Structure 1
Amino acid sequence: MDLTDAVWRKSTRSDNGGSTCVEVATNLPDAVGVRDSKDQQGPVLTFEPSAWVTFAQATAAGGFVPRS
């Protein structure tokens, strides 16, 4: 997948140092890219846009319980 035109952003809720963040590119035509902000040249996970929306909505609704 060509990610040349990907516009990466991270959450405004990221820590101030930016050391524990993921970045998301939602401007791609047929995918959403997710990468580690500390390894911007590293691997990228890609999701179908509908799967990403489902994940984001479930997360916002508290659908995931943090591990202790």
Structure 2
Amino acid sequence: MKKKFTIEHFQQSLIVATLCSLIFFLFESSKNINWVLMAIMFVIFFFIIFFFRSFYSYFSEAQHKIIKRKNKFN
């Protein structure tokens, strides 16, 4: 069984959270960027994406095992 949280999930979440926070602040279009707010948004995006990515992987793996069991009994 795979680990729930892998380095791949961490790296993908880091990249996507960086892109999301940058896009968010590009559309904010304020001339003076508040770096503290940007850091907070980055952390929020990162944790949301990281946990959704990890749990999606975990549940899809669990669903795959359930399907295997059903096919085994049929």
The answer to whether the superposition gives a TM-score over 0.5 is: no
More helix by share: 2
TM-score under structure 2 length normalisation: 0.24
Instruction: Say which structure, 1 or 2, has more relative contact order (CA 8 Å, 6+ apart).
Output: 2
If the length of structure 1 is used for normalisation, what is the TM-score?
Answer: 0.26
Structure of larger gyration radius: 2
